[in-house]
Structure 1
Amino acid sequence: MKILLAGDSTVANCPTHEFPMSGWGAHLPPLTYRWGAVHNFAKGGASTESFRDDGLWAALLAEAGEGDAVLIQFGHNDQKKQHLAARTGYAANLRAMVGEVRDRGAAAVLCTSVERRHFLDAPSSDAVLAESLKDYPEVVRELGLELAVPVVDLNAWTRRLYRRLGPDRSRELFCHFGPGEHAHWPGGLADNTHFSQSGAALVAGEVARQLGSLGYGAAGSKELSTTAGRG
């Protein structure tokens, strides 16, 4: 069995010069090696459209076969394009992807986009976590029901994680450096979208846990529940 990943920079194996920035897909193999090899096709800046246009979707499908799982997480870059709005182009592209995965005998697993770390100062002085992805996560949940596809709800999970840690401690999940603190980022960096190594590892752990709840890891079982892993 293979686990194939389609997504953007929050999933991808980031290039060496961006270290310690990391997508969660880079930390998945040690957690799922007993189930099968991870093939990470995710790319920084990718949307549901550019992933196909760049040939990455075709390359992934060429590797997919009976019993494999294809995890799909987009949205961060789709929301930057008007024609890839959540309920139009984005939803249509995800429907097509699910159909093409099924045509190859593989199982599609939709993932809601991990949340960005954007805290707002409420009038009460309590920090409020913004919903930066608007209706994109909800559309994925709706597609899961419509298409009978399991959903790994990383948006809901990361939102709970950030709120539990709060504005200060949650910063450690992302790439924040002062000038001169890191050789790869000499001018400093304050990034609330891309994970640090520790942040990416935490998300990968949750992905592995939810895949386990969907049936992966059970002896001789690759059947996926369409309801486990939500929320």
Structure 2
Amino acid sequence: MTRIASIFLVLILALGCTNQKDDTTKPTIYTIGDSTVKNGQGDGAGGLWGWGDPLVQYFDTTKVNLENHALGGTSSRTFRDKGLWQPVLYKLKPGDYVLMQFGHNDSGAVNDTIRARGTIKGTGEESEEIDNLITGKHEIVHSYGWYMRQYIREAKEKGAIPVVMAPIPRNDWEEGKVPRNNNSYGGWAKTVAAEEGAFFIDLNEKMASEMENRGEENVTEVLFFSRDHTHTSAKGAVLAASLIVEGLKELDQCKLKNYLLEDPKISFPVKKKVFIIGDSTVANGNDSIVGWGRELWAFMDTTRIEVINKARGGRSSRTYIYEGLWDEVLQQLSAGDFLLIQFGHNDGGNIDKAKYRGSLPGMGNETQDILRNDSIPETVHTYGWYMGTYINQAKEKGVSVIVISMIPRNIWKDGKVERVDGSYGGWAKEAAGQNEAYFIDLNNVIADKYEKMGAEKVKAFFPGDHTHTNAVGAKFNAETLTEQIKNLRTCSLHRYLN
């Protein structure tokens, strides 16, 4: 029995070794660089992405592995000093590739108390000795070209193939043109690559030319956001990756092109979903009456998130469940999604008469049994009970829930907008607190804004009554809601806002 067990153990180990060997025989493409290669954790926080993330979708991963080791804030110097290059170098084997792009952070200070990441300009052998004000270590700082040479030489010593990129351009414009870096880091990268026998792709020139072809108005807020001229959006990262692929195809002696897919299907990034439930003040509406749910997408990074407005006019927290609308939404919810809930405008209606949409006031567990005019019995619960049901059932599926107090009606008294703190606004807050959901007091926030604007200006938001907004009012409310989502720092939805 012992001998048989030993034989099985040997077979298992042999199979494991075989599988491991097969995996390691595949070449690996390592990318190193700064935040324009990998932004943050590579999950698109703030809508920003590096080109190293979508690049994988252009390659046949049954034949080649890809690992993005870039880190935001690093320069050609600090990527090495922080120990980020060593793990890559350790794993390199003959036939692997190293795609490198540095330069955006190399122009910083050589020594300061903030980052101390700068390198000496150029490709020469000059150096500067410093006592690093951050680390306290004595350090010899070299030129940008010197550091790039080390990456190239050390990769080649391991039998790997280095491919050097000129840093992508910034979204700066001068008389319709995008400034190049061919006289600085792009040019120095090209010089070092040529001197060391490495492949070179002028990503800076390729991307700047494409940006100019599209025009500034089609680049800002598309490839880059106006708030950031250095880091790309998802679409900008995909463009940069596609231009690298184009560059690889142009390199006659570079076999990396052999691993490219003939017809890549770029689906980037994977989208999360925001579901919205509520009444007509939230629903898409029509040409004259529009809810804020229709306008919310404009404030979201829709390359990373999908807004699904399931709000329905005339519904209350009670009828949205009774009519099966909630079951439909619940079936679509998945872990990682978001749910926005706003009810209250119709909950004060009739409980036991048509339209049968009123809920019992308050937060308790009391109920009322009624008989609808279709002879169907119904047990009616409190507003708080219904809200708690939505929250808990969604949370059971791994969904982040945000409860929102109802938008204010255009009802004024003594220069003040009517509030709902003592009713549905207060109960919504209480339901969120009791069931550990996020809460946004949209009622008071918008009411405050209305009062600053004045009744006459606010009247333009309400075309037919004091409850329902037009498109302009809906957009105003959606933008206000977005401002409040930004304040929910522990809710990751704020990272998907434009």
Secondary structure of 1:216's aligned partner: helix
Q: Are the aligned partners of 1:3 and 1:37 in contact in 2 as well (CA < 8 Å)?
A: yes
Percent identical pairs in the alignment equals: 28
Q: How does 1:178-189 map to 2 (within 5 A)?
A: none
Q: How does 1:1-231 map to 2 (within 5 A)?
A: 1-15=27-41, 16=43, 18-34=45-61, 35-81=63-109, 83-88=119-124, 89-120=143-174, 126-131=175-180, 134-171=183-220, 172-176=222-226, 190-213=227-250, 214-218=254-258
CA RMSD of aligned residues (A): 1.9
Aligned-pair CA distance for 1:140: 1.2
Opposite residue 234 of structure 2, the aligned amino acid is Q
> How far apart, CA to CA, are the structure 2 residues paired with 1:116 and 1:77?
12
> How far apart, CA to CA, are the structure 1 residues paired with 2:257 and 2:148?
26
> How far apart, CA to CA, are the structure 2 residues paired with 1:33 and 1:23?
20
Q: Are the aligned partners of 1:76 and 1:133 in contact in 2 as well (CA < 8 Å)?
A: no
Q: Which moved more, 1:67-76 or 1:139-148?
A: 139-148
Opposite residue 195 of structure 1, the aligned amino acid is T
Uncovered stretches (5+) of structure 2, i.e. residues with no partner: 1-26, 111-118, 125-142, 260-498
Opposite residue 223 of structure 2, the aligned amino acid is L
Aligned-pair CA distance for 1:133: 7.3
Q: Which moved more, 1:50-59 or 1:77-86?
A: 77-86
Q: Are the aligned partners of 2:180 and 2:205 in contact in 1 as well (CA < 8 Å)?
A: no
Aligned-pair CA distance for 1:58: 0.2
> How far apart, CA to CA, are the structure 1 residues paired with 2:38 and 2:147?
20
Opposite residue 215 of structure 1, the aligned amino acid is K
- The corresponding residue for 2:488 is none
Aligned-pair CA distance for 1:129: 2.1
Aligned-pair CA distance for 1:17: 6.9
> How far apart, CA to CA, are the structure 1 residues paired with 2:179 and 2:166?
16
> How far apart, CA to CA, are the structure 1 residues paired with 2:178 and 2:257?
34
> How far apart, CA to CA, are the structure 2 residues paired with 1:14 and 1:201?
17
Secondary structure of 2:187's aligned partner: helix
Aligned-pair CA distance for 1:218: 2.7
Aligned-pair CA distance for 1:163: 1.1
Q: Are the aligned partners of 1:116 and 1:132 in contact in 2 as well (CA < 8 Å)?
A: no
> How far apart, CA to CA, are the structure 2 residues paired with 1:107 and 1:75?
20
How many correspondences in the alignment?
201
List per-residue Cα deviations over 1:20-56 (Å, max 9, x = no partner).
Answer: 2000000011111344111111000110111011111
List per-residue Cα deviations over 1:115-169 (Å, max 9, x = no partner).
Answer: 101012xxxxx42323467411111111122111110110111110111111111
Aligned-pair CA distance for 1:85: 1.2
TM-score (norm 2): 0.39
**In structure 2, do the counterparts of structure 1 residues 20 and 70 end up closer, same or farther at CA, with 3 Å as the change threshold?**
same
List per-residue Cα deviations over 1:69-111 (Å, max 9, x = no partner).
Answer: 0011000001123543133410001111111001111011111
Q: Are the aligned partners of 2:106 and 2:144 in contact in 1 as well (CA < 8 Å)?
A: yes
Uncovered stretches (5+) of structure 1, i.e. residues with no partner: 121-125, 177-189, 220-231
Secondary structure of 2:73's aligned partner: coil
List per-residue Cα deviations over 1:185-208 (Å, max 9, x = no partner).
Answer: xxxxx1111000011011111212
TM-score (norm 1): 0.81
Q: Are the aligned partners of 1:23 and 1:194 in contact in 2 as well (CA < 8 Å)?
A: yes
Q: Which moved more, 1:111-120 or 1:16-25?
A: 16-25
> How far apart, CA to CA, are the structure 2 residues paired with 1:142 and 1:22?
28
**In structure 2, do the counterparts of structure 1 residues 217 and 162 end up closer, same or farther at CA, with 3 Å as the change threshold?**
closer
